[in-house]
Copies of this chain bind each other. A is one copy, B any other.
Amino acid sequence: MPAFFPRIGIVGSGAVGGYFGARLALAGADVRFLMRGDLAAVRARGSFVIREQAGTAELKPVAAFGAAAEMGAVDLVVIALKATSGGELPSLVGPLLGPGTALLTLQNGLGADEHLAGLFGEERVIGGLVFMALTRTGPGEVTCFHPGSVSVGEFGRPPAERTLGLAAQLGAAGMKAHVVGNLLEARWRKLVWNIPFNGLSIAEGGVPTDRICADPSLASEARELMREVQRAAAAFGFAIPDAYLARQFDVTPAMGRYQPSSLVDYLAGRRVEVEPIWGEPLRRARAAGVEMPRLASLYSRLGALCSGPPQEAR
């Protein structure tokens, strides 16, 4: 089966971008990586390594670039920058665009889809939600600690042929891929978990998610935050059932001593995506007339903890 998107550009070749790019390239696509920090190391070694429970795979050679202008036009751009890097998108993505190029943003939280649509046209935008634990464990090396799944959906419209084609291509590349009917609803559903667990794990001083579930006071706070997200989502017409909330407390302890990506960033001294995960949902809810007092308090605590320039290590 030929790849639905034969030529793919990866913008942001960290853990998520590197993993997706390497998997897609190993399955036969022509994948071009835009790299920064790891460019020299990857070029010197000539390979990108992904480690998984099922085994270690090496992509060799790697089409690694230091400038978007050198990469040429592609059929799909995968954007896996941290959402905190939004200002750079025109110069990083623009050179990769042909007339029909689609954009897949794997950025967290709310706002990335709209931002891309405003810059490059809404018809290009596909949103992706990554439910995996991917960590950069060395230069040009990503370890997948939890394979999970990825969900993809069209921005502001129902799934199209390309959405199904993308999901099939991701599936053929070894990822469990789902198509969602409503991208924005899927993002609110993911926030049911991310807002409490990513947030409390940082605000409470670096606690893994199983400890949030095991501590009655933290678990209760997480539950209340989830109810706020549920109420806000309802104001946008998305009915998230109570059972969905309850289920988070079944699956999360089973994940073990898990660190959400935001906590990994925080502990590594990297900038945390405070606005897309906590700020933007709070603002959208307010604009719709829904108060989220616990989220407001959490957002304020996170703002204080995560402000200032990125540090080398905390």
Contact = CB atoms under 8 A, between A and B. Distances in A.
Interface of A: 51-54, 56, 132-133, 135, 137, 143, 145-149, 176, 208, 210, 247, 250-251, 254-259, 264
B251 A145 contact: no
Nearest to A145: B53
Contacts of A146: 145-146, 255-256
B256 A149 contact: yes
Contact of A257 (B54, B258, B264): B54
A258 B133 contact: no
A259 B137 contact: no
Contacts of A251: 250-251, 254
Nearest to A55: B267
A33 B176 CA distance: 39
A147 to B, nearest CB: 4
Given A250-B250, A251-B254, A254-B254, A259 B56 contact: no
Contacts of A145: 52-53, 145-146
Contacts of A208: 54
Given A54-B257, A56-B137, A176-B210, 9 more contacts: A51-B137, A53-B133, A54-B208, A143-B143, A146-B256, A147-B258, A176-B256, A250-B251, A254-B254
A53 B268 CA distance: 12
A194 to B, nearest CB: 16
A256 B148 CA distance: 5
14 contacts: A51-B143, A53-B133, A53-B143, A53-B257, A53-B258, A53-B264, A54-B208, A132-B256, A145-B145, A146-B146, A146-B255, A147-B257, A176-B256, A176-B257
Q: Which 7 A-B pairs rank lowest in CB-CB distance, beginning with the nearest?
A: A251-B254, A147-B256, A147-B257, A53-B145, A148-B256, A250-B250, A254-B254
A54 B259 CA distance: 7
A132 B208 CA distance: 16
Contacts of A132: 256
Interface centre among A137, A149, A250, A254 (most CB of B within 10 A): A254
Contacts of A264: 53
Contacts of A137: 51, 56
A146 B143 CA distance: 12
A264 B148 CA distance: 18
A18 B313 CA distance: 28
A263 to B, nearest CB: 9
Contact of A255 (B135, B250, B254, B257): B254
